[in-house]
Amino acid sequence: MIHKKSQKNLSIEDISTYAGRYDLDDITLSSISECGMPAKVAKQLIEDELNLDGTPILNLASFVTTWMEPEANDLIVQSLNKNFIDHDEYPQVEKLHERCVHILAELLNAPENQNYVGTGTIGSSEAIMLAGLAHKFSWRNQRKKQGKDASKPNIIMGSNVQICWDKFARYFDVEPKIIPMHKDRYHITAEDVRPLIDENTICVATILGTTFTGEYDEIEEINQLLLETKKHYGWDIPLHVDAASGGFISIFQDDKIKWDFQLEQVKSINLSGHKYGLVYPGIGWLIFKDESVIPNDLVFNVNYLGGNMPTYTLNFSRGSSMVVAQYYNFLRLGKQGYTRIVNNMMAVSNYLSQALTQHDRFSVLGTRRMEPVVTFVLNGKHHYDAYDISEQLRIYGWVVPAYSMPENAQDIIALRVVVKENFSLTLAQDFLSDLDKVIKKLDNSDNNTPQTHRHGKNIPH
Ligand SMILES: *Cc1c(COP(=O)(O)O)cnc(C)c1O
């Protein structure tokens, strides 16, 4: 009797997840429903839809980390409900954050006798906005002190910059002086920068690991140029290094490129913890060589969370998990761990680069490659192009973007493979063999089939 009664009280969705047929009611999915649904049904419906996304592990397009150790995953879940900005309530999280800043400043050779400062951000984009603002305000304060016009700030950068630099210039009203690329050169040189410098230059932005080819700008030579400029004109123009993707690679490589705080004019550096810092998306870092670079009027003191807290960020509330995860990697891997991972990734990318260089169909772009990124182009005239190769590779599961190179070289369509720690040599060999199959298939395809052209596609991050 009891058994029968309890069965009668069961609702249809208690019996089976799909029995309620919520999945057919598409109207409730894009506007909020009156009465909601059971947790397991909601979870299942969302999971079913998310399954149509690509598999992060197979994504060779992105620099962003797609795998962490299970222990890191545990820590991430444990700190999901801690608001990072509540330093008073969660002082331990703040301690880990400060340790990360300290570790990075040391790795970047910040001089001990100067007061370096730094902060975790959502990513390099936020870090770059903050760095640019600090340089703009410093320049303006300096100009005002000298009684000079401070209405026309400019920033010098290459057209090889990531989109966040264009955003910085537009959002914060700074004139961008953009150096175009050449067909065989995708980095900027000191000679490119020289004619653009003037008294209104707030900063020169250089890149360690460009999004397009994984190369680096002439940072050391530009530093030298800025030292000369300081001597001749008295303009103390800061050099910023956007080390979003290349920073964590160079730090742990033996054949070190000179780019960090050892160079006198390098005053600020950003890195993406969620790229080769090997943490999931949601963490970037900004380090200033000396706290005097940040004008006081940009730092806000808040006390509504208890205690007095200086803040220099764009966002307020955010999760703590990725800060904890970054600290986990530092503790877990140490210098040797990071170095080994970096060496493995470089070895796999060198293997790929060599194979593609020897391949009669492809050429590899860039001679100043400093990170495990391989950018290549299709040689010769064919009835198909790099976009078609990208599309065909998808059938084999590989996500390899095709994109046009920056201004002045935009008719060159490149393919790019970003090697991450979980991309092994075996996978690289599988990839090359699938690439050959794709070429064979396209060679044999009908010459007259019109190709769908997908120009104007943005480069993935
Ligand atoms: C990825 C990238 C950025 C943007 O960084 P996010 O962490 O994605 O905000 C900026 N500059 C370079 C060179 C990059 O590779």
In a domain? residue 378: no
Q: Is the domain of 129 the same as that of 46?
A: no
The last residue of one of the domains, among 329, 362, 389, is 329
Contacts 24+ apart (CB under 8 A), 451-458: 451/383, 451/384, 451/385, 451/387, 451/388, 452/387, 453/385, 453/387, 454/387, 455/404, 456/404, 457/387, 457/401, 457/402, 457/403, 457/404, 458/163, 458/403
Which residue from 166, 211, 259 has its CB within 8 A of the most atoms of ligand 1, so it is best to mutate?
211
- State in Å: Cα 460 to ligand 1 middle: 10
Q: Is the domain of 90 the same as that of 44?
A: no
- State in Å: Cα 272 to ligand 1 middle: 7
Q: Which pLDDT does position 1 carry in this prediction?
A: 46
Cα separation, 35 vs 123, in Å, equals 38
Most trustworthy range by pLDDT among 167-181, 399-413, 445-459: 167-181
Above 60 in pLDDT, residue 458?
Answer: no
Q: Which pLDDT does position 38 carry in this prediction?
A: 86
- pLDDT category of residue 30 using cuts at 50, 70 and 90: confident
The last residue of one of the domains, among 291, 313, 329, is 329
What is the pTM (predicted TM-score) of this model? 0.92
In a domain? residue 180: yes
Per the structure, the complete domain to which residue 94 belongs is given by 74-329
Cα separation, 407 vs 404, in Å, equals 9
Mean pLDDT, rounded, of the chain: 90
Ligand 1, closest atom to CA 161? 13
Ligand 1, closest atom to CA 245? 15
User: pLDDT tens across 357-403, in order?
Assistant: 999 999 999 999 999 999 999 999 999 999 999 999 999 989 999 99
Ligand 1, closest atom to CA 211? 15
Q: Is the domain of 42 the same as that of 153?
A: no
Nearest CA to ligand 1 atom 2: 244
Q: Is the domain of 107 the same as that of 38?
A: no
Q: Is the domain of 287 the same as that of 325?
A: yes
Q: Which pLDDT does position 27 carry in this prediction?
A: 52
Percent above pLDDT 90 for the chain: 70
Ligand 1, closest atom to CA 163? 10
Protein residues with CB under 6 Å of any ligand 1 atom = 63, 123-125, 162, 164, 207, 211, 242, 244-245, 272, 284, 461
Q: Is the domain of 136 the same as that of 29?
A: no
- pLDDT category of residue 294 using cuts at 50, 70 and 90: confident
Adjacent-strand bridge partners of 300: 311
Above 80 in pLDDT, residue 233?
Answer: yes
Ligand 1, closest atom to CA 207? 13
Domains contained in the chain, number:
2
User: pLDDT tens across 411-450, in order?
Assistant: 889 999 999 999 999 999 999 999 999 999 999 987 655 4
Q: Is the domain of 16 the same as that of 82?
A: no
- pLDDT category of residue 3 using cuts at 50, 70 and 90: low
Q: Which pLDDT does position 166 carry in this prediction?
A: 96
State mean pLDDT over 301-327. 81
- State in Å: Cα 211 to ligand 1 middle: 8
Adjacent-strand bridge partners of 402: 415
Structural tokens at position 175: 């004139």
State mean pLDDT over 326-345. 98
Q: Is the domain of 37 the same as that of 88?
A: no
Amino acid at 114: Q
User: pLDDT tens across 108-123, in order?
Assistant: 999 987 788 999 999 9
Q: Which pLDDT does position 293 carry in this prediction?
A: 86
Above 50 in pLDDT, residue 328?
Answer: yes
The CATH number covering residue 110 comes to 3.40.640.10
- State in Å: Cα 420 to ligand 1 middle: 16
Q: Which pLDDT does position 456 carry in this prediction?
A: 46
Q: Is the domain of 180 the same as that of 48?
A: no
Adjacent-strand bridge partners of 57: none
Q: Is the domain of 22 the same as that of 122?
A: no
Q: Is the domain of 24 the same as that of 171?
A: no
User: pLDDT tens across 435-445, in order?
Assistant: 999 999 999 98
- State in Å: Cα 331 to ligand 1 middle: 24
In a domain? residue 341: no
In a domain? residue 431: no
Percent above pLDDT 70 for the chain: 90
